[in-house]
Structure 1
């Protein structure tokens, strides 16, 4: 199988990639590491590759995006190969499923419905179709198909959106802010009197309500936190650079000095933005 001419065909496209994966998984002549893998062992790589795609997009690094999309495509091919070996489904089944789904969910493009509808109406129609699909899969619970593997903040928002559709939601941000104050007080109490597990539980409750506030403010908490992470990284690097000019490192400094350098970096950023 490793000598299949398709494997060495530069224009083989997806078929070439599938042939390469089949060769890697061949029990007799394949790669020992690839042969040992299963769905569970590969899943973390799939998630990692998706984040690397997002990172390349955020950086607008288009050559890197090409490579990262290839890495992500490999994950799809890998899982499909595992499924085919186990007799579950094939890569062709995967392609057919998503094609059928996209046609069914866009009747205003591929069917007889009017294309001239608002984005909000399209979202509502999309949710109606998805609800019918869940019913066909015998998923009757409102939260049934919110994926467990999503990033925690993203999953929190999705769970809250689902609950809100059936009326389980605060009407405005005032109640959410009151709940944040309540959860913050409980966390302080937990810090002083409870076990580490109970402190972790209270921290989770606070984070969940913070995600709810983001949803009410129409802010994506994942994006907001990524931006905050980037800002922290940028300003801390400014601290490192300022200390390096003095032939020093952060561990040679102290909190008071580094805090002053942080504020200087913050002021410089605001000055550049204003300019």
Structure 2
């Protein structure tokens, strides 16, 4: 039962993030440079969040940094090649206004789809390895923190669709993305993990692969924004400060939880297998 509740909570956070993005963005009238800056900023923050969480876990898992670096680099280089090809074959007008081109939206959708599969894998593995019977009261707080990071993911997924005024497509992408997460988690939980246990390095590579791609897209957006001679119009200082503070709180919460778990394990209070559970209390003897 706890497994299904957690799936529901994470899905709810992601969908709420998408709906917040819709109502939030629909109220702002900004020029193209402002949107490029905001989109790039958000993507870089999310990519660094994904990367830093894995770097913190290195202290515990004792796997080679090459797994994280290779996953991030693979995602980065893959998107670099794809975007280079896009610039070569596209017209100048499409390059200058990439948010209005479906290729950009598809890349974002595929990247976060890969991320949702890896996230579904991690969650199903946690519960498959013995935490299916953890009392709900011990899991609500950490699961809530886990769900919080779905806010920027939901916003990021719908952002390119909403910027190009394709609202229905954006909501379709948001719902499909969560469908990918739920189905991957259920299939892995009930079938795949009975026959295969991934190595720590494989998990690290898969988890950081989308981070590299998202980081490149964010960097691409920021570079495009700074190349554009337009002034940034439509975003007030209060909007940028509020967005920055909200993202900072979400990222900090996830990193603090991850680091606290690692420190407890380093002190010998629990072991690695228990570290894959969301509730440290359940592992302490």
| TM-score normalised according to structure 2 size | 0.24
Higher relative contact order (CA 8 A, sep 6+): 2
Larger C-alpha radius of gyration, 1 or 2? 1
| TM-score normalised according to structure 1 size | 0.25
